[in-house]
Amino acid sequence: MKVSKAVKICLDYHRNHSKPNTVRSYEAILTKFGLIFGDNYLGKISSEDILTFLDKITDGTKQQTKRTRYSHLTAFFNFIINNIDEQIQNPCANQLLKKLYKTSAPVQWESFEKETIDEVIFRTTKLRNRLILELMARGGMRIGEVLKLTPEDTSGQKLLIRDPKSGREQEVIFITQKIADRLRDYINAKNIAFNHRIFPISYEAARSMVKRAGEMVGVRLRPHDLRRHAATYASRAGVPIEIVSKIILRHANLSTTQMYLGKVSDSEATRWIENLYA
């Protein structure tokens, strides 16, 4: 089978079964691969061809991007082998290539204790800023999702996220009744139009606000630290990881969620064991 036909089959499959972001990723690399090797037979593609191709299309990019392109190309050949022609050898399954594009160990992020985040929020006196902090720290929202919210997206304790990062058409955020009440009162007090942004500030302004809020209690705080805190606190409070993953963080798989959960100190581990067998 020629590369051009294999590329078409693989892309048609993803367009019918995969999320938009996944489709775009595969289109980006397989279209280029087809332009260069379209008339070649799959079985004739060598590991050297793969290396030359990847070097060309990832020149100047970050290592993570290089790994992602290699992963997509590997998956393309595996798809054809598993579904169409099992006699083909995957040219990406080469020790040199595996070493060059080896996946790094998952990053385990530090997580702030609940008392620290509570102090950050309680010491933030401006209502707008406090709401932004709470939506991230209590609702697990990304800063970009918070800034895009409109009154139209609010319905009691449910917030609607349009065009989310996952590629889905929309997602739902669940917040506490207290935050929902404060958010509603803020919208009414500011008389914000139904389809206008609730928090009409830039990403950089929001990021600076979060940084200043952290500095008030002596910590270096970034917007995503608050989202990670929401996941870690829920997990340690006994919320099943499936709920943390699918409802709070809205991840596609549990392995991504694991990266968000903070490290457990020796003293905390001891406390949990004592409580468990008390």
Domain 3-100: state its class: mainly alpha
Equal fold, 3-100 vs 114-266 = no
pLDDT attached to residue 221: 93
Query: Which two structure tokens, joined as six digits, stand for 46?
Result: 């060598």
| Residue 1, amino acid | M
User: Could you say which architecture CATH assigns to the domain 114-266?
Assistant: Orthogonal Bundle (1.10)
**Using one digit for the tens of pLDDT, what is the confidence trace for 98-110?**
888 886 655 555 6
Q: Residue 236's pLDDT is what? A: 78
* Domain layout of the chain by residue ranges: 3-100, 114-266
Question: Mean pLDDT across the stretch 248-261?
Answer: 67
> What pLDDT band is residue 168 in, cutting at 50, 70 and 90?
confident
Q: What is the pTM of this model?
A: 0.59
pLDDT of residue 192: 97
Lowest mean pLDDT among 122-126, 162-166, 208-212, 216-220: 162-166
Is 10's pLDDT higher than 80? Answer: yes
Spatial contact of 40 and 2, defined as CB atoms under 8 Å apart: yes
Give the integer Cα–Cα distance in Å for 120 and 55: 46
Q: What is the pLDDT of residues 24-83, one digit of tens each?
A: 999 999 999 999 999 999 999 999 999 999 999 988 888 888 999 999 999 999 999 999
Distance CA 12, CA 38 (A): 16
Sign, CA dihedral 167-201-155-119, equals positive
